[in-house]
Structure 1
Amino acid sequence: MPETTTPSVLFVCVHNTGRSQMAAALLTHLAAGRVQVRSAGSAPAETVHPAVTEALAEAGIDISAEVPKILTADAVRASDIVITMGCGDACPVFPGKRYLDWRLPDPAGQDITAVRPVRDEIERRVRALLDEIAPAGPGTAGDGR
């Protein structure tokens, strides 16, 4: 990706209530404007999972106003990297896009103690992705974590 272009990432899971919401929120927080971030679901639910909202709040990230969004071909077209998280073949494939599949436990129906390790693993993967696609330049402060 050219340095003059802001990379864009789309996180996709089935209901857009857990893993994809956490990944999008963490990348948005950590990237501080260096990456365009979207999330969507192939069959979105009504609300974000409460334990996911709580787990992110513990990390200082408020997603209480987020709502699950439907996956569209336009969202895929507008993204450089599409990261699926258990949505199977529901995600449209377009040439020139980079596709990754992050296999992670589904936090649906889990309590906060089960969601924390998923959040932490997503954060680890998001940090590695961010270092690859939009590393902090000289004089850019990190988030200190």
Structure 2
Amino acid sequence: MSPVPEVLFVCVHNAGRSQMAAALLDHHAQGRVHVRSAGSVPADQINPAVHEVMAEVGLDLSKEFPKPLTDDVVRAADVVISMGCGDACPVYPGKRYLDWELTDPAGKTADEIRPIRDEIDARVTALLAEITTPARSESPAR
């Protein structure tokens, strides 16, 4: 893994789950991780209810937009986390791939999206601890 790990979140439309995950990881990492998100079939805009629930936790997605999934962003990533994009994500050797099964927020209200946001927050917090903790050297017990 590079000195600053790169994490890519991928979902179909890059309008909900992957945007929330990227914003939450970027917020918690405070520069210790480079974060990107993309969609296999990007939407025209981020889900307005996703904007709303992220603003509630102090994260502004107004400058974000759905981005296409390209080979370049996958190649650049150390960890690729898919969220319901099926087989659309290219697979390259040496990358770590995780599949997070999460409810799609498309068509859901802010009340229905909050638990999805909170689940993503718990997962990115655990991921951050895992990828930024230096590996302990194996030393014999005394």
TM score, norm. by length of structure 1: 0.90
Matches within 5 A, 1:36-47: 36-47=34-45
| Mapped partners of 1:87, 1:64: distance in 2 | 24
**Which amino acid in the other structure matches residue 95 of structure 1?**
P
Shift of 1:135: 4.2
Give the 4+ runs in structure 1 shifted more than 3 A.
Answer: none
Over the aligned positions, Cα root-mean-square deviation in angstroms equals 1.2
For 1:92 and 1:135, how far apart are their aligned partners in 2? 27
Matched residue, 1:56? 54
Selected match of 1:105 from 96, 103, 106 = 103
Equivalent residue number for residue 30 of structure 1: 28
Unaligned runs of 5+ in 1: 137-145
Provide the residue aligned with 2:93 in structure 1.
95
Q: 1:65: Cα distance to partner? A: 1.5
Q: Look up the match of 1:140.
A: none
- Residue in 1 aligned with 2:139? none
Gaps of 5+ in 2: 135-142
Offset at 1:64? Answer: 1.2
Identity, in percent, stands at 66
Structure of higher CA gyration radius? 2
Out of 7, 12, 16, which is 2:5 matched to?
Answer: 7
Amino acid at match of 1:109: G
Secondary structure at 2:13's aligned position in 1? coil
Q: In structure 2, how many angstroms separate the alpha carbons of the residues matched to 1:22 and 1:107?
A: 10
The total of aligned residue pairs comes to 134
